[in-house]
Chains A and B, each alone.
Chain A
Amino acid sequence: EPEVTQTPSHQVTQMGQEVILRCVPISNHLYFYWYRQILGQKVEFLVSFYNNEISEKSEIFDDQFSVERPDGSNFTLKIRSTKLEDSAMYFCARSGGASDTQYFGPGTRLTVL
């Protein structure tokens, strides 16, 4: 199964601080996604990204969140001013097409204190 790597594996931050989570897809897939999983809850879709544009986003993905692929390789999720409720596991995923299977990374556990 093609791989996705995510860094860091665990990020601890203070409330109000900015965090950047990174995803490095090891393939030439063009569709990227961020999901999050709050402890004990279901995996929730945040955003999809294709051709350097957001193609779909959820209600969770408000102005505090942004995504970009600055160097054509890393795909990043930025949270501008973290809140306690942003504590979750964040998963990056990628696929070869909009309808293709999505492959997930190992996740970044974000803890906001």
Chain B
Amino acid sequence: EAEVAQSPRYKITEKSQAVAFWCDPISGHATLYWYRQILGQGPELLVQFQDESVVDDSQLPKDRFSAERLKGVDSTLKIQPAELGDSAMYLCASSLEDSGSPLHFGNGTRLTVT
């Protein structure tokens, strides 16, 4: 079964440093999402792409976070500078362009900011 690929699996960084996460969605999935999941909570949407266009980034802290999906396939989420409160699991998901299609999640990147 096709999977959403994410890397790295774990990242430890010092505050004020820059970090980047990569996601490769399931082939053919036009919609790509980045979610942040704080330990013990549900995933919260950071940004949603439809092909290469941002559909929703209303919850993305734009002063430090950026996301791109230049060719409408894989995507990168960047944080610069990282803050202690950014420690969380960053999950990428993809879906078909259909309101009834489920999200397929990758296994995430666990970020620890020290």
Do A and B truly interact?
Answer: no
**Which residues of B pack against A, CB within 8 Å?**
none
Task: Show the binding face of A for B, using Cβ within 8 Å.
Answer: none
